[in-house]
Structure 1
Amino acid sequence: MKKFRIASLACTAAVFGAGIGAAPPTAADHMTHVVRPGESIQAAVDAAESGDTVLLTAGTFHESVKVTTPGLTLRGMGRLTVVRPAPAKAPTTPKAAKAPITCAGDGNGICVIGTKDRHVANVTIASMTVTGFTRAGVFAMGTDRLTVRNVRAVQNGVWGIAQQRSVRGVIRDNVARDNGDAGVFLANSIKTEQGASDTRGTLVARNHLEGNRIGVTVRRLRNLTVDGNHITGNCAGVFVVGDENKPKTGALTVSGNRIVANNRSCPANSRLEALQGSGIVVTGAEDTLVTRNVVRDNAGTSSLSGGIVLFKSFVGTANERNRISGNTLAGNSPADLVDTEAAGANTFDGNSCRASKPAGLC
């Protein structure tokens, strides 16, 4: 591992002026830590300070990485940089009681971890492939303004990119393909039953999500946007999920997405029935706007199949005051629009479609 300091005239001026006063920190004081295959990414991350960049060269790295330093950028060289799990090691001591998240120990690739009391802020993960991990390719918890961009999260056991207990995140221009559950998974808390939390404007935008169980899952969250994504070849495109906890999931927007032929067949699990042919599913949510999406050719026989489906949650929580407006739908089965709720609980207007259940929603 080598360090390279960014050179600039500002740096020279700071040194020249050292005798008359310390110069304030600038971008020129930040370091770029270059890591090559065979060297430790974690060592570079641990040595870096806020504002530094850890740059991974082309090649394959076999390790998991945990980031806890605010303001850090971990960046590769696009598809040429690949992060995979380290080879499994035989245990040498009895397994201890569960410790805090270790990233590798929990089966994740790259982790950005804050705490309940103090979020880790302004971290960027960019331009690499993360593949083959048993849980998530990229996992974040307790973050503020995390950016994940130009990452390929491929063939991970559960999620491609996952985030919980976090605010103001930006997940954009990524590819999440062939992951065991959601390509992008957002939740207030993965394990704790509690009311929906305010993400303060998290954005999921311009991602390509294909071959996953679900393209995007939003669970027990409020105040976020899922916009401009291309979602195809999953068992379901987008799930907005709420339950009996308060406040309810909602006050969010699903807009401008292209959601086509999500017709893989996925078996039931502990939380959901078997899935196939679901475009956008809203369940147990309120005040959600679903608008300007193109939803085509999603077909299946599940009770959740169809183009845009409003369905009472599996614990009986109704959808309320959601608006389905200005979407273009075609070729979805059993219908382009499906509303299983009481008449008038939600609003359908200005959609272009041919068939709905019940009739009259188009």
Structure 2
Amino acid sequence: MKRCHLAYLACAAALLGGGLGAAPAAAAHHTLVVRPGHSIQKAVNAARPGDTVLVLAGTYHESVVVDTPWVTLRGVGARTVVKPAATKTGKAANTCARHGDGICVLGTKKKNVEGVTVADLKVTGFSHAGVFGMATDTLTVRRVQAVDNKVWGIATERSVHSLLRENQARRNGDAGLFLANTINEEGGAYDAGATRVERNRLENNRIGVTVRRLRNLTVSDNTITGNCGGVFVVGDENKPQGGNLTVASNEVVENNKFCAKTARLPVIQGSGIVLTGAEKTRVTGNHVAGNRGTSPLSGGIVLFKSMVGAKGVNNRVDRNTLEDNAPADLVNTESAKSNNVFERNSCRASKPAGLC
């Protein structure tokens, strides 16, 4: 049997080539194995569409760019740890490192990178985002622990058909999960192509999940606790307006951490689910409890006019169970003419009265 001499390359191709009826080279999918002391980026650079880069247990000090379609970057769970490289003389190794990100999945302005999966590893300590995807199609981020990153745990921009599932995002400086149309530019809401954010645990971040200027997306079955705010759906005056999405069946409990005001938002504390400047969003079947504060955004489920004055219209809040939220379980600061509907919610107190 042949042996592979490159530490991070598996022997799959050699084994297939040695037998009768071997698959043609174009159809072979290989596993490239990265061991402690070796480079994840070198293995990713060697990967072809359909290949898996398997990163064994250990701590890897580097930032990684994935721009080849249909590549899987996978660890062996929390024992595979990606941390920033030690800064020596100055020049960062790649675009991802220069922006302070851990793992970047990057398409281009003209073409999305398709089918990339990042799974089963921990990414921690980066000055921007743990995992960042831009211009992606069918990106999957699954069972990733994004911990103690200074801005976002896991973030996507200008991406469609994404699946963020069964991740843990803890103690990140802004949102545990952040999904947006564009980050540094103004513009209308982006169709996220039925993106799904589901079964994640989001704890002790500034905000658990932020969805900004997006449409056609579902946030469901997540556990969101100990943040300043649980879920923020953010629109603005641009057209199309952010919204036309669903927030369903989430456990949003005791998001009472205090976060100081910023240039964009006032103080945040005790905010469960907040819709600001969004339209046609359905909030349904969630359990929202113990979110208590005195911020303008405090309360269980809150509809709040955006900071640039955009109205939230035609939203539906139904079949939620709310308890022990303050100043109220349901808070609606929009006018009666906005056609927002509250029905069949189990709650005790609302502002204005009569929404329960």
TM class by smaller structure: over 0.9
Indicate yes or no: 2:134 matched with 1:134.
Answer: no
Tell me if the contact between 2:170 and 2:202 (Cα under 8 Å) persists in the aligned partners.
yes
Tell me if the contact between 1:164 and 1:189 (Cα under 8 Å) persists in the aligned partners.
yes
User: Hey, what does 2:85 align to over in structure 1?
Assistant: 86
Give the Å deviation of 1:2.
3.0
Give the Å deviation of 1:12.
3.7
User: Hey, what does 1:19 align to over in structure 2?
Assistant: none
**C-alpha RMSD of the superposition:** 1.8
Give the Å deviation of 1:6.
3.7
Deviation readout 1:36-60 (Å, 9 max, x if unpaired): 1110110000011000000000110
User: Hey, what does 1:234 align to over in structure 2?
Assistant: 227
For 1:241 and 1:288, how far apart are their aligned partners in 2? 11
- The residue type equivalent to 1:150 in the other structure is R
Give the Å deviation of 1:116.
1.9
Give the Å deviation of 1:14.
3.6
Tell me if the contact between 1:5 and 1:30 (Cα under 8 Å) persists in the aligned partners.
no
Indicate yes or no: 2:347 matched with 1:353.
Answer: yes
Deviation readout 1:159-190 (Å, 9 max, x if unpaired): 00000000000000000000000000000000
Tell me if the contact between 1:121 and 1:144 (Cα under 8 Å) persists in the aligned partners.
yes
User: Hey, what does 2:42 align to over in structure 1?
Assistant: 43
Equivalences, count: 348
User: Hey, what does 2:161 align to over in structure 1?
Assistant: 168
Partner of 1:315, secondary structure, is coil
Q: CA, structure 1 residues 135+9, in 2 after alignment: closer, same or farther (shift >3 Å)? A: closer
Partner of 1:184, secondary structure, is strand
Tell me if the contact between 1:125 and 1:148 (Cα under 8 Å) persists in the aligned partners.
yes
Tell me if the contact between 2:210 and 2:233 (Cα under 8 Å) persists in the aligned partners.
yes
For 1:14 and 1:162, how far apart are their aligned partners in 2? 44
Partner of 1:2, secondary structure, is coil
For 1:91 and 1:327, how far apart are their aligned partners in 2? 52
For 1:72 and 1:24, how far apart are their aligned partners in 2? 17
User: Hey, what does 1:159 align to over in structure 2?
Assistant: 152
User: Hey, what does 1:191 align to over in structure 2?
Assistant: 184
TM-score in terms of structure 1 length = 0.93
Gaps of at least 5 residues in structure 2 are 1-6
Give the Å deviation of 1:271.
1.0
User: Hey, what does 1:208 align to over in structure 2?
Assistant: 201
Partner of 1:103, secondary structure, is helix
Deviation readout 1:277-323 (Å, 9 max, x if unpaired): 00000010110000000000000000000000000001110010000
Of 81-90 and 207-216, deviating more is 81-90
Tell me if the contact between 1:196 and 1:246 (Cα under 8 Å) persists in the aligned partners.
yes
- The residue type equivalent to 2:245 in the other structure is L
Give the Å deviation of 1:90.
2.8
2:260 corresponds, among 267, 277, 287, to 267
Deviation readout 1:22-46 (Å, 9 max, x if unpaired): 95844xx111110011101100000
- The residue type equivalent to 1:71 in the other structure is W
Partner of 1:303, secondary structure, is coil
Percent identity of the aligned residues?
A: 61
- The residue type equivalent to 1:74 in the other structure is L
Indicate yes or no: 2:95 matched with 1:107.
Answer: no
Runs of 4+ in structure 1 off by over 4 angstroms are: 7-11, 22-25
For 1:13 and 1:220, how far apart are their aligned partners in 2? 54
- The residue type equivalent to 1:125 in the other structure is V
